[in-house]
Structure 1
Amino acid sequence: MDAALPIVRVDLWRADAAVLFDWLVSVDLNTVPISHPAQKQALMDLLARFETDTDVVDISQAEIDEAQSAVAQNMGW
């Protein structure tokens, strides 16, 4: 990452981070609908940040399952 570029910090609920990380490592990004290649790159950048800046890389399947249940409870739609 270029240190000269502006950075935006986003605080996520750990369960959201776990769900997103699990999805990002399992999805085939070549099949995700995108309208610009930068969208795919941004998803890859997000995955890289999860891998380097969080502890969700080491969570168990049971923790992922719990996170999915917790996030789904707050869907509201």
Structure 2
Amino acid sequence: MSDDLPSVTVRLWRADAVVLFNWLMSTDLNTVPVDHPAQKQALADLASALECDTDVMASTEEELAAAREDVARDMGW
């Protein structure tokens, strides 16, 4: 993403970031249902931002398992 484009900052619970990054990296975005190609690109951009701007890529399998438990425990539905 270009630095001259408008941007926003999104704060995520680290466990959410770990779970989302793992899912994004293991999902074939060509199979994710989208209404517009921009949605697929936005998911790819999110994965890239999580990879470049955080330390979630270095998460171990144990950290991922713990993050999944924490996030699932926080589910309200």
CA deviations on 1:26-62 (whole Å, 9 max, x unpaired) are 0111110000000000000001001110000001011
Q: Corresponding residue for 1:37?
A: 37
What is the deviation of 1:3? 1.9
Point out 4+ residue stretches in structure 1 off by more than 2 angstroms: none
Q: Map of 1:12-51 to 2, 5 A cutoff? A: 12-51=12-51
Q: Which amino acid aligns with 1:13?
A: W
2: CA distance between counterparts of 1:60 and 1:3?
Answer: 31
1: CA distance between counterparts of 2:76 and 2:3?
Answer: 38
Q: Corresponding residue for 2:72?
A: 72
1: CA distance between counterparts of 2:8 and 2:21?
Answer: 19
CA RMSD of aligned residues (A): 0.6
Unaligned runs of 5+ in 2: none
How many residue pairs are counted as aligned between the two chains? 77
Comparing 2-11 and 25-34, the one that deviates more: 2-11
2: CA distance between counterparts of 1:62 and 1:28?
Answer: 23
> 3-state SS of the aligned residue for 2:67?
helix
Unaligned runs of 5+ in 1: none
1: CA distance between counterparts of 2:50 and 2:38?
Answer: 18
Q: Corresponding residue for 1:4?
A: 4
Normalising by structure 1, report the TM-score: 0.97
